[in-house]
Amino acid sequence: MCGIAGCTGDSAAAEHVIESLKRLEYRGYDSAGITLGGTLLRTVKVSGTVDHLKKTLFSGDHRGTRGIAHTRWATCGEPTAENAHPHLSCDGGISVVHNGIVENFSELKDELSASGHVFLSETDSEVIPHLIEHYYDGDPLRSTALALRRLTGTFAVAAVFARHPEVIVCAAGGSPVVIGLDEKRTFVASDVQALSPYTRRIIRLDDGEIALLTPGAAQVYAAADLQPRRKEIVLLPAETVSSGKGGFEHFMLKEIMEQPVCCGNALKDRLDLSRGMVVFPGLGLSVRELSRVSRIVIAGCGSSIHAGLTGAYCFEDLAGIPVSVEQASEFRYRNPVLEPETLVLALSQSGETADTIAAVREARMKGAWVIAVCNVTESTIAREADSVIPLLAGPELSVAATKSFTSQLIVLYLLALYAGRGRRLPQETVLRLLREAGDIPALVRRVLEQAPLIERLAKRYAWADDLFYIGRGNLYPVALEGALKLKEISYAHAEGYHAAELKHGPMALLDEHVPVIALVDPACEAEKICGNIRECRTRKAPVIVFAADGFPPDGPAVRDVVRVPACSRYLLPVVMAVALQLFAYYFARARGCPVDRPRNLAKSVTVE
């Protein structure tokens, strides 16, 4: 789960490759490295971020018209400078960056060691330059292809050779590789965002392809037999990435604050109030076709799965369609039953989550129609699905999912209304629910106005190392999401539970040191969750209530209450999620955590 970048044909290769690498840090940021140069290869590697690499590199010689670089999320071997990429052949004349996993690295390492190769790192990737060296006969393309044929697992690689001073060889085998071209320069990277400052003309390598890059040119071949492939050059839309924090201390806070606009984008052009309809241009499924769907399977990971769990309430309630929500990581390993009328929704902000990609492939192989609900429309999941609903949330750079989560909730709600319209929902009801949906941006804005209150509360509880989040109904998955948000950025242990489940075990952990965050919809099973709150108070647990306006004044005595605006029960998860994001943000900030880049994580999880 790493990012690779490269450039040939520009005397500022180092600057370009480092800039591309910065844009790939969402794939990992625990160590980084670069190889620069033509006939003399110079490699610099550090433990830490790309900024650290940049400082180290630019304090020394960084000349060269060719470079390859890597930002890593450690899988095999600790995030040390030795384990950072690029890795070199024994003679130092071949340098390789790799994204993916070499599953048979142990046996390859034994074989290569027996023939005299010496390894300097604990990584699986280091076998690649040695294998290429083993096969090298003067042809960089053929030796790389022969080496890659020996690997089992996944890879995206870029390799440079001291004996071929302008060439980069790159190949894809289960991990993405894009090539960028302009008149005099050629680039390679793990995604198009990394290339967008330099060129809009790109070629995407398919799995099983290998390419020879020279300044201003790229020749693509089938890796199996080195037969040339004709590839289309795609013209990307003009750059849309906003790279700054816009005056905020962290991307996460900026992205939380952007939500009124993002929610508006998720609704815009999809609400047809004059006809009381939802419209999804490019969906490829009409209301009538959707009404014939017998079951929906929602697959995703992390926050995306929590959005899916929330969406399930809408589909079942509004459209009467049975839904199962699947962890994408488990989906393809348990031979899921998909009838011809099963619709699969693949939820992913990045569109590059390996487990979700695997679920999409499994579902399509079994004949299901797959809709990707994705923020990155250029991503693998968006390209491989039968159709795509874009989240339109704009780039999300902080590791914690915020605006993409609320946009997912909105899209799922609209899709449930779209399906419900063809099944059992009368037009007047759809129209009323659509009008209410139109209020979401304003409701979210009102939650954001409470940031100072939520900040005070978060600071007051920032001592806590263990917390529970509880909810009922469609606030139960929001409790899971609130707990995930808190733990990933603050390193406090937080568990989300259905409120009724606490007494089936976890309540044994409650005492005055374990705060409980209770999510309350006064219009839905309020007396039940009030009972659960009393049970917690009886065990001396401090309770913080997040409730929609109307939280019963005769409810349990709790000191700390955050009131969010009352709204339709289908929209409350959106409003509540925003309040919990703020709580997690201020809690982590009070604990001095690196909010945007929590330890051990990456924005995009590209390994299974």
* Catalytic residue annotation: 2, 603
Smaller CB separation from ligand M6R, 149 or 599: 599
Q: How far apart are CA 476 and CA 471, in angstroms?
A: 4
129 closest CA partner among 101, 107, 152, 109: 109
> Cβ of residue 202: shortest distance to ligand M6R, in angstroms?
21
Check residue 401 for interaction with ligand M6R (CB under 6 A): yes
Smaller CB separation from ligand M6R, 318 or 577: 577
3-state SS class at 523: coil
Element (H, E) at 170: strand 164-173
> Sign of dihedral through CA atoms 388, 391, 394, 396?
negative
Q: How far apart are CA 192 and CA 18, in angstroms?
A: 15
* Cis peptide bond prior to 86, omega within 30° of 0: yes
Check residue 353 for interaction with ligand M6R (CB under 6 A): yes
User: How many chain residues touch ligand M6R (CB under 6 A)?
Assistant: 16
Smaller CB separation from ligand M6R, 196 or 303: 303
Query: One symbol per residue from 586 to 605: x for binding ligand M6R (CB under 6 A), - otherwise; what is it?
Result: ------------------xx
> Cβ of residue 203: shortest distance to ligand M6R, in angstroms?
24
Check residue 350 for interaction with ligand M6R (CB under 6 A): yes
> Sign of dihedral through CA atoms 52, 53, 59, 65?
negative
Check residue 301 for interaction with ligand M6R (CB under 6 A): yes
Q: Specify which residues 173 forms β-bridges with.
A: 155
Check residue 302 for interaction with ligand M6R (CB under 6 A): yes
Out of 49, 89, 125, 356, the residue judged to bind ligand M6R by CB under 6 A? 356
Check residue 303 for interaction with ligand M6R (CB under 6 A): yes
Task: Please state the φ and ψ torsions of residue 486, each to the nearest 5 degrees.
Answer: -65, -45
Smaller CB separation from ligand M6R, 19 or 326: 326
Smaller CB separation from ligand M6R, 353 or 406: 353
Look up tokens 């999912």; give the residue. 401
> Cβ of residue 384: shortest distance to ligand M6R, in angstroms?
14
Contact 372, 351 (CB under 8 A): yes
> Cβ of residue 258: shortest distance to ligand M6R, in angstroms?
16
> Cβ of residue 606: shortest distance to ligand M6R, in angstroms?
10
Smaller CB separation from ligand M6R, 62 or 603: 603
Smaller CB separation from ligand M6R, 502 or 602: 602
Check residue 581 for interaction with ligand M6R (CB under 6 A): no
DSSP 315: I
Check residue 399 for interaction with ligand M6R (CB under 6 A): yes
> Cβ of residue 605: shortest distance to ligand M6R, in angstroms?
5
Q: How far apart are CA 338 and CA 549, in angstroms?
A: 42
500 closest CA partner among 527, 482, 481, 540: 527
Q: How far apart are CA 577 and CA 571, in angstroms?
A: 10
- For residue 114, what are its two tokens? 């027996």
Check residue 400 for interaction with ligand M6R (CB under 6 A): yes
DSSP 220: E
Q: Specify which residues 32 forms β-bridges with.
A: 46, 71
Contact range with ligand M6R by CB under 6 A, out of 46-54, 347-355, 450-458, 544-552: 347-355
Smaller CB separation from ligand M6R, 45 or 487: 487
Adjacency order of strands within the sheet including 342-348: 323-327, 295-300, 342-348, 369-374, 387-390
What's the Cα-to-Cα distance from 41 to each of 77, 165, 218, 400, 452, rounded to whole Å?
24, 9, 22, 38, 53
Adjacency order of strands within the sheet including 234-235: 42-47, 31-36, 66-72, 3-8, 186-189, 178-181, 201-204, 234-235
Out of 123, 196, 348, 380, the residue judged to bind ligand M6R by CB under 6 A? 348
Contact range with ligand M6R by CB under 6 A, out of 279-287, 299-307, 451-459, 580-588: 299-307
Kindly calculate the radius of gyration of the chain based on its CA atoms and give it in whole angstroms: 26
What's the Cα-to-Cα distance from 574 to each of 259, 280, 583, 584, rounded to whole Å?
10, 20, 15, 15
CA 160 to chain centre: 30
Q: How far apart are CA 518 and CA 510, in angstroms?
A: 14
> Cβ of residue 603: shortest distance to ligand M6R, in angstroms?
7
- For residue 206, what are its two tokens? 């398919």
Smaller CB separation from ligand M6R, 83 or 350: 350
Residue with smallest beta-carbon separation from ligand M6R: 302
487 closest CA partner among 386, 399, 551: 399
> Cβ of residue 389: shortest distance to ligand M6R, in angstroms?
14
> Cβ of residue 399: shortest distance to ligand M6R, in angstroms?
5
3-state SS class at 70: strand
Query: One symbol per residue from 488 to 527: x for binding ligand M6R (CB under 6 A), - otherwise; what is it?
Result: x---------------------------------------
> Cβ of residue 346: shortest distance to ligand M6R, in angstroms?
9
Which amino acid would we find at residue 608? E
What's the Cα-to-Cα distance from 605 to each of 76, 107, 122, 247, 602, rounded to whole Å?
15, 26, 21, 28, 6
Query: One symbol per residue from 310 to 339: x for binding ligand M6R (CB under 6 A), - otherwise; what is it?
Result: ------------------------------
> Cβ of residue 364: shortest distance to ligand M6R, in angstroms?
17
| Residues between 465 and 494 that touch ligand M6R (CB under 6 A) | 484, 488
Q: In sequence order, which residues have a C-beta less than 8 Å from that of residue 249 and are 6 or more positions away? A: 589
Smaller CB separation from ligand M6R, 209 or 596: 596
Contact range with ligand M6R by CB under 6 A, out of 214-222, 313-321, 397-405, 511-519: 397-405
User: How does 21-36 read in b/e, with b if 16+ C-beta sit within 10 Å?
Assistant: bbbbbbbbbbbbbbbb
Q: How far apart are CA 458 and CA 544, in angstroms?
A: 10
| Residues between 127 and 186 that touch ligand M6R (CB under 6 A) | none
Smaller CB separation from ligand M6R, 158 or 577: 577
Interface residues with ligand M6R (CB under 6 A) are 301-304, 348-350, 353, 356, 399-401, 484, 488, 604-605
